[in-house]
Structures are given as structure tokens and as C-alpha cells.
Structure 1
Amino acid sequence: MNIEKNTISVQFINRPNRFQAYVKLNNEIIMVHVPNTGRCKEILIPGCTVILREENGVNRKTKYDLIAAYKGDKLINIDSQIPNKVVHEALIQKKIKKLKRFTNIEREKNYGNSRFDFKLTDSKGGIYYLEVKGVTYEEDGKAKFPDAPTDRGRKHLIELIDVKNEGMNAGVMFVLQMDNMKSFSPYDSMDYKFGEALRKAKESQVDIFAYECNVAEKFITISNEIDVIL
């Protein structure tokens, strides 16, 4: 998907809290919004180059969103709204092999007390619930999730198991918001309970996908499926 709004590259200064950061733009220090509640500490390092997307909301406190950062030569998108958008695009374009048969794509659909990112339906009425997780953490080309403990993420996995137990299909897709990754794994040392839940989901025949993305300052799109190592 293309990023239609204006983007600029600037120098990152610091991030005092989850939602705010300071950057240097035209020799002026300004505050920007960070659309990601994860830690991103290994990415947002003082002095690194980051990408801002210009926003023009009337009630906004900041003019820009910080949507990506360079980790060395690698550009990593950190916008938490992006994964669902690129998956939606990939589903429409039939880029996800196992999900090609689904012709009806619905977003943010409830199932019982749960809400999943996608509800997919095929021509025979078969239903598939899909949850999407954005991944920004990598170490030596190996992507991991989560970069902070997530009870909510673990709850989603348990709910997907419930879907399987009710006789429907379910999956979780990890969208690696970067390219040239070797593999994906749960980040057990950060949140072992999430890793346990992911392995239990696998045992319950919940599909686990990991796709990396082609990332540039003005676009991001799903590219290759990556090995999942549990």
C-alpha cells in the first residue's frame, strides 16, 4: 500500500512516553505522535533517522506521526495501524496462499465475546477468523513478538482456539514490518506466557503465518512468507 500523505525524514531525539516523541526538524525540536504502544527501544535510538507522516487533523496536538525508523540500513515501519491494512490489501490481491479461496472479507467482526481483525467466508459458506499482529522487533535477522508483555495478545490466541473447537477455521498472522528476515519466533524471554499460548494454538490446529514486508518511506506491502519456529 502507498502512503498518500506527505512524509519527511528527520532526526530522532527521544521518546518520553508511549505516545509522544521529540524529533529535530529544520533545526527545531518538535513533538510528534507515536502510533505504537510497544517499546521499540532497539529501534528508536537517539540520533537515528525516522520517518514522519504529515497529519492535518483539526483537534490534533501534533502535526506528524512517527511511522518508521532506520535501524542501521534497515527501515522498520512501526505504525500499529499498518499491519491490518496491508493484510487487507494482500487478502484482496490473493497474496496469502492458504487464504486465496475466501471471497468475502469482513473487518473487525465479533465472535461471542471476542472481536477478531478479519472474518473470511468462502463460496461454500466456510468461515475463517484471522487475527493480525504487527512485528517490529528483530535480532540478527530473526523476528520476534511481542516486544513487551501482552495479556491481550495471549487472550486472542485462546479465543482462536475456541473458534477451532467450535468447528471453524482460525489463524494468526504475524506481519513483519521489515524485510530480509530469516525466521519468526515468539519472544519467550519477554513474555513466556504468550509463547506458551502460541504453541498451544499450533497444537489446536490454529494456523500460524509470518509474512515479511517490502518497506520504503512511501509504501509498505506484504512480500514473502517466513518460517515460523516455535
Structure 2
Amino acid sequence: MEFSPQLKQATLIKRYKRFLADVITPSGEELTLHCPNTGAMTGCATPGDTVWYSTSDNPTRKYPNTWEMTQTQNGEFICVNTLRANTVTKEALESETIAELMGYTTIKSEVKYGAERSRIDFMLQADCKVNCYIEVKSVTLSQQGCGYFPDAVSLRGQKHLRELMNVVSQGERAVLLFAVLHSGITQVSPARHVDAKYAQLLCEAQQCGVEIIAYKAELSDKGLSLTSPLPVCLI
């Protein structure tokens, strides 16, 4: 996906109240941005980092500017807008960039399913194939080149793993896709040090037949797209 219009640049002062961030533009103007990320954003919100933001023309928005990308002080790009993970995943599914998910003719988004009243990010369908349920998770927590998920305790993520295991038990296909939106990440692992229960459930899900894959995005202030697979290490 390409950012249109082009993103604007600023320097991060601070993030606060989870959904807000103060920045200063190159001209010296201070702005408050909407931060579309409910996670801890560890390593993604260091004061002094470069922030790239979009601007909405909706006159009813209290905060018209949205934090999209961080460019760290060592040059790494991170997409902090978690909504973009589904956008680039859908583009990759449509272009059949993800080798493991080729050969389907229909892509449905936000389909209701499961005993716990969930919505699957994508459901793929094709003649002579079982339905394929795909849950997408955005990975931005990086430590020494390894990406970790989640970056905060995620009861919602735990629920999604239980739902995917149930999908497999019913004879359908279930896939957990880690969309890696950090240029410095080279592999993905569950964040046991953050959410031990999630890590346990992820291992159980794989043993039950849930497929776990990771694809890395190519990122810049111009846009982003999923391009290449990364290894997933559960041990």
C-alpha cells in the first residue's frame, strides 16, 4: 500500500493516555496526534524518534492527524498503526504473495465465527478446498533482531488462539499470520516474558494443527507491503 497523500514528518515529544502523542514539526509547531495502537509500543515511541503521520480531511475529528510510522534514531522503520497489518495482508492475499495461502478464489473479511463470538480477519474459500481462517497479528516488539508477540498481556489474543484450535477440530484450516511491521526483525517468537499464557497457547495451537507463519513488510515513509517469509521459533 502507498500513503496518499504523502505522510508528514515530525519529532516525537511523548506518547500518553495510550491514544495520544505530542510531536513537533520541522517548523516548530507542536501537534497532538491520534495513536492507533493499544499496545505497549516498546521501542516504537522513544522521544526524539521521527514520526510520520497522515492527516484526515474529516472536519468532525478532534485529532485529524494519525501516527502511522516511526523511524527510530538508528534508522529502523516501524509501522505503529496496527490497522495497516490487515490492509497489507489483504493486498498480499489478493496478489498471492503469501505462498502458503495461494489458490483460493474468495477472500472475506471480518467474518463472525467461533464459540467466543469472535471475528476472523480473513476467511478464504475455493471449490474443492476447506475454508481457511486467518488471524493476523502485527509484530513490532524487537529485541536483538527477534520479533516478539504480544507486547502486552493479550486476553484477546489468547481467545483468538482458542478459536483457531476449535476451527481445526471442526475440519477446517486455521492460520495465524504474524505481519512483521518492523524493518529490524529477522525472526518471530512468542513473548513468554510478556504473556506466558499466550506463549503456552501458541504452542498448543501448533500441536493441534494451527499453521503459524510470519511475513515481513518492506517499509518506508512512502508505503509498506508484505514481501518475504520469516522463521517462527516457538521454543
Structure 2 equivalent of residue 46 of structure 1: 47
Q: Which runs of no fewer than 5 residues in structure 2 stay unpaired?
A: none
SS at match of 2:125: strand
The whole-number CA distance in structure 2 between the counterparts of 1:77 and 1:179 is: 9
Letter in 1 for 2:173: N
SS at match of 1:162: helix
Alpha-carbon shift at residue 6 of structure 1 (Å)? 3.2
Letter in 2 for 1:77: C
Letter in 2 for 1:79: N
SS at match of 1:171: strand
Greater Cα offset, 129-138 or 1-10: 1-10
The whole-number CA distance in structure 2 between the counterparts of 1:76 and 1:196 is: 27
Letter in 2 for 1:96: I
Contact 1:185/1:228, CA 8 A, preserved across alignment: yes
**What's the C-alpha RMSD, in Å, of the aligned pairs?**
1.1
The whole-number CA distance in structure 2 between the counterparts of 1:188 and 1:56 is: 41
Q: Does 2:218 correspond to 1:218?
A: no
Alpha-carbon shift at residue 125 of structure 1 (Å)? 4.5
Structure 2 equivalent of residue 33 of structure 1: 34
Contact 1:5/1:55, CA 8 A, preserved across alignment: no
Alpha-carbon shift at residue 101 of structure 1 (Å)? 1.3
Cα deviation 1:135-181 (Å, max 9, x = unaligned) = 11111111111111100001000100000000110011000002353
Structure 2 equivalent of residue 201 of structure 1: 205
Greater Cα offset, 50-59 or 213-222: 50-59
The percentage of counterpart residues that share the same residue type is: 31
The whole-number CA distance in structure 2 between the counterparts of 1:100 and 1:4 is: 29
Aligned length: 230
Letter in 1 for 2:67: L
Contact 1:163/1:170, CA 8 A, preserved across alignment: yes
TM-score by length of 1: 0.97
The whole-number CA distance in structure 1 between the counterparts of 2:201 and 2:98 is: 24
Matches within 5 A, 1:59-138: 59-71=60-72, 72-112=74-114, 113-138=117-142
Greater Cα offset, 35-44 or 127-136: 35-44
Q: Which runs of no fewer than 5 residues in structure 1 stay unpaired?
A: none
Greater Cα offset, 141-150 or 121-130: 121-130
The whole-number CA distance in structure 1 between the counterparts of 2:103 and 2:71 is: 37
Letter in 1 for 2:182: M
Cα deviation 1:86-135 (Å, max 9, x = unaligned) = 01000000011111011110000012432100111122252011000011
Letter in 1 for 2:8: I
The whole-number CA distance in structure 2 between the counterparts of 1:141 and 1:41 is: 14
The whole-number CA distance in structure 2 between the counterparts of 1:147 and 1:3 is: 26
Contact 2:13/2:23, CA 8 A, preserved across alignment: yes
